[in-house]
Amino acid sequence: MFKFITGSINRKLVLLVMGVTLIPLAMTTFLGIWMAQNALEKQLAAGLDGLRINKAKAITDHLQQAVNDASVAAGQIRVAKLLTELNFDQTQTDASLKGISSSGEHSGFIIYSEEKNAPVYTLGINKDDVVKTFPKSKLEEFCMKVVKEGKTKFLDYIEYAPVNGPAMFVGAPIFSNGKTVGVFLLLVNIAQIDEIMLDSTGLGKTGESVIIGDDGFMRTSCKKRKLENLPSIMKIKVSDAMREDAFKSETGHTDFMLNSHDAEALVSKSKMDLKKVTSDLNWAIIVEVENHEIEAPVYAIIKNIIIASLVLGLIACLLGFLVARSVSKPLISLTSKVVKLANGDLTVEIENVKRDDEIGVLIESFNRMLFSLREQTTKIQEGTSELATAIVEISAAVSELAANSTETATAITEISTTMEEVKQTTHVAADKAAHVSETANRVSSISEDGNKATRDAINGMSNIKEEMMALAENIVKLSGQTQSIGEIILTVNDLAEQSNLLAVNAAIEAAKAGEFGKGFTVVAQEIKSLAEQSKASTRQVSGILNEIQQATSSAVMATERGSKAVEAGVHLSESAGEAISTLAESISESADATAQISASGKQQIIGIDQLAVALDSIRTATDQSLKGVQQLEYASVSMKELAAKLKSLTEQFKTN
């Protein structure tokens, strides 16, 4: 049940709203009822007190009346005469005494004669019954007490047979000649007292008021029993607690206790103040109202309040449900998504809600978080696979390294044997170096001669080069001159043509002259043939000139080639010289070098010894590194496992 409520924010919120509404309501209700009850009780108590006081006064007045009536009746001469004169007339007396109880307030009276010690006269009561029950009765005792004390007294309720029920008497002494001769016994009208007490005005349905004596028996009727026609006077006794409480004070007080019907009731009670009337009666008055009647309005209020509370609770429930739903609906959808997310499913999508409150912000932030989480997870997955491949590579590399280390160890052993051989070889090399040094010195002097020869060759080549240059210039000049010869030939050719033209014109003119011009025609013919000859000559010359030009062109090219060849020769001889001098230098350097070689050979031997020591330490280091590599191998294996674990971990997240 508890889990059912705490498991849902919706139910929680509904419950909360209900609690917030109903708890103050309940508190207010409780307070209101309590206060209302208190006020009611106080008011009722005051009412009960007032009633009690009024009733007590009425009773006191009634008793006072009885006392007064009794005293007045006793003081009448007729009464005294009745007792002193022996033979009084019964009927006459009746007539005269009827007036005493003419008011009708009293039930009747008895006159007691001290002399006869018996009742002598009765009114309203059967005389025979009175006389019969009188001897040795409480009434006789009472009469004697009144005679003895000589003052008016009350006889409390007794069971009196002549009236067939309870009765109360007021006894007043009858004086005659200063002597008590009898007692006037007034039968108090107890029905009237009962009536006063039974009047339940202002008491409600269950309200009751009774008078009790100090023996605890009721002096007036109980209302309930009266309705059922049951006698209660001197028959019903109140509880001792009630009696004691009632006789506690004369001012009276009100509280709750069980009444004679064994019901909880508000009871106002006090001892009755009858000192002014008589000291014979010790009575208390009790006014009570039963609780259920007092509480009836309170219960009505409670009923209304409960109905109101139920309605309010229902409304609160509805309101709470609405409020809770507006809050919890997005939260519930979010929760389902988050549950999926917790199971590693990152592909969930949450539709954005257009809300400005914290829930909207929450959903938006959640979306953003989801996005970044997805990206990060994807990157981690990529990283993990990269890591896995890298580790595989590393482990391969480590295996290789291990193999290499083993190889290195064997290589070192080989090296140390080789080194011994090297040591031997170095000795031989030092001897050879000394020999080479001598040879190098000889070669150096020879190369010096070679150097000189190449220098001469370079000089010769330079001379040739200059000659070639001059030749080339001349040939170029020649070529230019052949060009001008060509121009001259053109001019001559032109002249020949012109003369041909002239010859023709001359021939024409000659022809025009007829016979006279015949000789001129011959001249013209001659001129023409001359022109033709010169033309033929120019043709020949130009042919020769063409050949010359071709020859000069090839000569120019040849000289060009020649000068280039010479230049190349110069370069070659120069580089030969350089080579020879470099050779000489390197030979002397090699001589120096061989000297150094022989010196360093000795140092080498020392170095090789040191190398052997170093090799030993390398070997130990290699062993250590071999161990290290093995550890590395173990480490790489565990890394591989780790990568696999990591991969399986990241693969729990679905991103696509």
Cα(202)–Cα(392) distance, rounded to whole angstroms? 107
Q: For residue 238, state whether it binds other proteins (rule: CB under 8 A).
A: no
Q: Binders of other proteins: how many residues, by CB under 8 A?
A: 14
Can you tell me which residue has the tokens 């009722």?
44
Q: For residue 511, state whether it binds other proteins (rule: CB under 8 A).
A: yes
Q: Give the shortest CB-590-to-other proteins separation in angstroms.
A: 58
Q: For residue 525, state whether it binds other proteins (rule: CB under 8 A).
A: yes
Identify which of residues 434 and 501 has a Cβ nearer to other proteins in the complex.
501
- Measured in residues, the chain has a length of 656
Beta bridge partners of 289: 266
Half-sphere exposure of 581 (CA within 13 A, CB side): 10
Q: Which of 97, 260, 528, 604 binds other proteins (CB under 8 A)?
A: 528
Cα(170)–Cα(142) distance, rounded to whole angstroms? 10
Identify which of residues 153 and 528 has a Cβ nearer to other proteins in the complex.
528
Helix 518-651 and helix 358-513, axial crossing angle in degrees, nearest 10: 170
Cα(208)–Cα(139) distance, rounded to whole angstroms? 31
Q: For residue 464, state whether it binds other proteins (rule: CB under 8 A).
A: no
Q: Residues of 1-33 as b/e, b for ≥16 C-beta within 10 angstroms?
A: eeeeeeeeebbebbbebbeebbeebeeebeeeb
Q: For residue 83, state whether it binds other proteins (rule: CB under 8 A).
A: no
Q: For residue 501, state whether it binds other proteins (rule: CB under 8 A).
A: yes
Q: For residue 504, state whether it binds other proteins (rule: CB under 8 A).
A: yes
Q: Give the shortest CB-505-to-other proteins separation in angstroms.
A: 5
Q: For residue 337, state whether it binds other proteins (rule: CB under 8 A).
A: no
Q: For residue 311, state whether it binds other proteins (rule: CB under 8 A).
A: no
State which H helix or E strand residue 455 sits in: helix 358-513
Segment contacting other proteins by CB under 8 A, of 28-36, 502-510, 586-594, 606-614? 502-510
Identify which of residues 43 and 554 has a Cβ nearer to other proteins in the complex.
554
Cα(288)–Cα(255) distance, rounded to whole angstroms? 10
Q: For residue 470, state whether it binds other proteins (rule: CB under 8 A).
A: no
Q: For residue 503, state whether it binds other proteins (rule: CB under 8 A).
A: yes
Q: Which of 512, 515, 610, 617 binds other proteins (CB under 8 A)?
A: 512
Residue 40, classified by CB atoms within 10 Å of its CB into exposed (0-12), middle (13-18) or buried (19+), is middle
List, in order, residues 6 or more apart from 478 with CB less than 8 Å away. Answer: 552
Q: For residue 500, state whether it binds other proteins (rule: CB under 8 A).
A: yes
- Please check whether residue 63 is in contact with residue 274, taking contact to mean a CB–CB distance below 8 angstroms: yes
Identify which of residues 405 and 500 has a Cβ nearer to other proteins in the complex.
500
Segment contacting other proteins by CB under 8 A, of 58-66, 118-126, 496-504, 606-614? 496-504
Q: For residue 522, state whether it binds other proteins (rule: CB under 8 A).
A: no
- Please check whether residue 50 is in contact with residue 361, taking contact to mean a CB–CB distance below 8 angstroms: no
Identify which of residues 505 and 620 has a Cβ nearer to other proteins in the complex.
505
Q: Which of 5, 31, 191, 508 binds other proteins (CB under 8 A)?
A: 508
Q: For residue 334, state whether it binds other proteins (rule: CB under 8 A).
A: no
Can you tell me which residue has the tokens 């018996």?
118
Positions in the binding site for other proteins (CB under 8 A)? 500-501, 503-505, 507-509, 511-512, 521, 524-525, 528
